[in-house]
């Protein structure tokens, strides 16, 4: 039996989607390696390191993003397990409230969060970027759905052997939830590595800038900086996200498909 050939309309739609998706990326790469009046050259990448402290900015972003990823994976796993496996009064209402927070835009909560951060004495620190981002409503929802697809008999067997709720979670369910946790981690890394709005509000000192915020300074006063230099900085900032996606795409695909159930 011969394989069915894709419809021409499908190919056209896929081609258009590919161009719209990869077009800006290709243009960025081309402009980054073709500085104004120099032809093909990597000089713009050297200019990035000359104009900003890329090492410090990268370390700040790595520290902030890494701790947020670990925090979200841990809290999402615990909260998802509780909502999926433990029975308690008001569980449905509380879970509904958690989901409701996903409907509130970040711009609405940024001022109250800023006031709380200032009241805690954490203004202009990296902790101001980390702590508010650790709780994740989407991660909680995703892990709840994932835990609900796992056999409840595993927990019952662990309970018969004398394991408590946390031991059952840690020894039985958490290892099986690795694909779901990978999804939470990869999505959290991609979002917070490229995050600009919260660092812009919470960070004042340049030593606490993250990479996206530091790249803005490449524009110069009134946008007088070199476009190629700015885009070279953007290319450099994309490398960690691309590496994480390349090595994590299998886990991402498994987690997204395995979590579809209840």
32: phi > 0 → left, psi -120 to 50 → alpha, else beta; which?
A: alpha
SS3 144: helix
Identify the band that residue 256 occupies on the pLDDT scale cut at 50, 70 and 90.
Answer: low
Does the pLDDT of residue 114 top 50, yes or no?
yes
Domain boundaries, the chain: 44-258
What gap in Å lies between CA 53 and CA 17, rounded to an integer? 36
Per-residue pLDDT at 126 exceeds 90: yes
Structure tokens at 230: 């700015």
Does residue 128 have a pLDDT over 90?
yes
CATH topology of domain 44-258: MetI-like fold (1.10.3720)
The mean predicted confidence, pLDDT, of the chain is 86
Predicted confidence at residue 261, as pLDDT, reads 47
pLDDT per position as a tens digit, 7-61: 788 888 988 998 898 888 898 898 888 887 677 888 889 889 989 899 999 999 9
CB 239, CB 61: distance < 8 Å: no
Q: Could you report the per-residue pLDDT of 48-90, keeping only the tens digit for each? A: 998 989 999 999 999 999 999 999 999 999 999 999 888 889 8
Q: Which pairs from 159-166 meet CB under 8 Å and 24+ separation?
A: 165/85, 165/86
- Give the lowest-confidence range in 19-28, 91-100, 196-205, 243-252: 243-252
With a cut of 50, say whether residue 1 has pLDDT above it.
no
> Is the pLDDT higher at 262 or at 167?
167
Is 200 or 40 the better-scoring residue by pLDDT?
A: 200
Contact predicate 42/109, CB 8 Å: no
Cβ atoms within 10 A of the Cβ of 48, count?
A: 24
pLDDT classification of 262: cutoffs 50, 70, 90: very low
Q: How far apart are CA 195 and CA 190, in angstroms?
A: 9
Distance separating alpha carbons of residues 41 and 89, to the nearest angstrom: 65
């Amino acid at each position: 039996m011969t394989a069915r050939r894709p419809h021409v309309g499908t190919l056209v739609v896929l081609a258009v989607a590919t161009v719209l998706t990869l077009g800006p990326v290709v243009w960025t790469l081309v402009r980054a390696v073709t500085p104004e009046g120099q032809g093909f050259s990597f000089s713009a990448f050297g200019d990035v390191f000359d104009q900003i402290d890329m090492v410090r900015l990268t370390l700040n972003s790595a520290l902030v993003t890494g701790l947020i990823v670990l925090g979200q994976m841990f809290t999402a796993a615990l909260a998802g397990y509780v909502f999926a496996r433990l029975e308690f009064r008001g569980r449905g209402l509380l879970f509904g409230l958690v989901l409701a927070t996903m409907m509130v835009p970040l711009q609405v909560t940024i001022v109250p969060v800023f006031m709380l951060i200032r009241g805690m004495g954490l203004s202009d620190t990296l902790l101001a970027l980390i702590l508010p981002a650790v709780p994740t409503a989407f991660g909680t929802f995703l892990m709840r759905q994932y835990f609900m697809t796992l056999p409840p008999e595993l927990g019952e067997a662990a309970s018969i052997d004398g394991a408590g709720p946390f031991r059952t979670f840690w020894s039985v369910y958490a290892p099986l939830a690795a694909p779901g946790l990978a999804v939470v981690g990869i999505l959290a890394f991609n979002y917070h590595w490229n995050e600009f709005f919260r660092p812009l509000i919470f960070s004042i000192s340049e030593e606490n800038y993250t990479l996206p915020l530091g790249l803005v300074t490449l524009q110069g006063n009134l946008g007088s900086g070199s476009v190629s230099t700015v885009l070279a900085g953007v290319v450099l900032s994309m490398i960690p996200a691309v590496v994480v996606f390349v090595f994590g795409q299998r886990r991402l695909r498994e987690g997204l498909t395995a979590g579809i159930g209840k």
